[in-house]
Amino acid sequence: MPELPDVTIYVEAIARRVVGQPLTGYAIRSVFALRSVDPPLDALVGRELLAVRRLGKRIVFDFDEGLHLVIHLMIAGRFRWVAAGARMKVPARIALAELQFPSGTLVLTEAGTKRRASIHLVRGTDALAPFERGGLEPLEATRAAFAERLALENHTLKRSLTDPRLFSGIGNAYSDEILHRARLSPLKLTSRLSEEEATRLYDATRTTLTEWTDRLRAEVGEGFPEKVTAFHDGMAVHGRYREPCPVCGTAVQRIRYRDNETNYCPRCQTEGRLLADRALSRLLHDDWPRTIDELE
């Protein structure tokens, strides 16, 4: 799922192309994508796009007359830009919707067969409230506010960082990178976090998100983001299972659960201990290695 750095780059690229222009037309290619009916999308046609902004992991298009188009990309949703007069065509099997402007067409796509990406049109600022999960903006938060959020609930650090009610815009990928930079276990409980560790986590969060936003911004330049993915070259641990940690050279390990996995370095983050993978530890029982030395 696109997270804060990726969504920020989308917002900037879209804004450069269409803010200040009227929506000249639209097309819904998948009825499953449109999740609201009042006001109708017809109300947007001819309206000027005033701004594009991030709301957590969602993207909000602010039109005049108080209309707000809210798009959530979910896991596989992406945008493509087709400049006016260009011959590029988006495959029909992945196209969900089109927003047409004088300068070109913004196409919402989604890979795979599951249709999770969503489009809502609402009227008025108050109507945006259901989409605001309440998470603290990590790049705007003070160290004290960050620590206060961590202390609200006793969860693992991984769960707390990715909880949209606690922190805005952080998901599976960047939480792995943040925890590696902070040298903290993803399973450490927030109630057991020392003041020094909380400061390390705060600094790592801000540095990781800022560095990756700057890096992606530089890669895109004045172009449009074409390869938005959870797995970027240069990441320290996320998506790098069994590859060497860039800090100590130890093989990156993982914890698998549901559709996701957590990646971490046992030497940098868990004092050499291997975190139990539920599926494998149940299978291996006493043969499950407890430390990275046993595994190697």
pLDDT at 284: 42
Same domain, 191 and 268: yes
pLDDT at 292: 57
In a domain, 136, yes or no: no
In a domain, 138, yes or no: no
What share of the chain has pLDDT > 70, as a percent?
Answer: 93
Give the span between the Cα atoms of 291 and 270, in whole angstroms: 9
In a domain, 210, yes or no: yes
Mapped onto helix, strand or coil, the DSSP state of residue 95 is: strand
Which of 64, 99, 131 represents a domain boundary (last residue)? 131
Same domain, 120 and 209: no
What share of the chain has pLDDT > 90, as a percent?
Answer: 87
Same domain, 127 and 188: no
The CA-atom distances, in angstroms, between 41 and each of 20, 59, 69, 104 are 19, 17, 9, 18
Same domain, 173 and 107: no
Same domain, 184 and 270: yes
In a domain, 122, yes or no: yes
H or E element at residue 96: strand 95-101
Same domain, 126 and 243: no
Any idea what the CATH number is for the domain that residue 24 is in?
3.20.190.10
In a domain, 112, yes or no: yes
Given a cut of 50, whether residue 288 has pLDDT beyond it is no
H or E element at residue 212: helix 195-220
Which of 96, 131, 166 represents a domain boundary (last residue)? 131
Same domain, 103 and 237: no
Same domain, 165 and 284: yes
- Contact at 8 Å (CB) between 95 and 109? yes
If pLDDT is split at 50, 70 and 90, which confidence band does 44 have?
Answer: very high
- Contact at 8 Å (CB) between 2 and 76? no
If pLDDT is split at 50, 70 and 90, which confidence band does 279 have?
Answer: low
Same domain, 115 and 243: no
**Higher local confidence (pLDDT), 73 or 294:** 73
Same domain, 148 and 291: yes
How many structural domains does the chain have?
A: 2
Same domain, 220 and 275: yes
Region 265-276 average pLDDT: 95
Which of 131, 159, 184 represents a domain boundary (last residue)? 131
pLDDT at 113: 83
Which residue matches tokens 């300068």?
103
In a domain, 284, yes or no: yes
In a domain, 137, yes or no: no
Q: What is the mean pLDDT of the chain?
A: 93
Q: Which domain holds residue 72?
A: 4-131
Same domain, 153 and 284: yes
- Token output for 41: 């999308």
In a domain, 269, yes or no: yes
Any idea what the CATH number is for the domain that residue 176 is in?
1.10.8.50
Apex 78 CA angle, 29 and 81, nearest 5: 80
Please name which of 292, 141, 115 lies closest in space to residue 205, comparing C-alpha atoms. 141
Given a cut of 70, whether residue 263 has pLDDT beyond it is yes
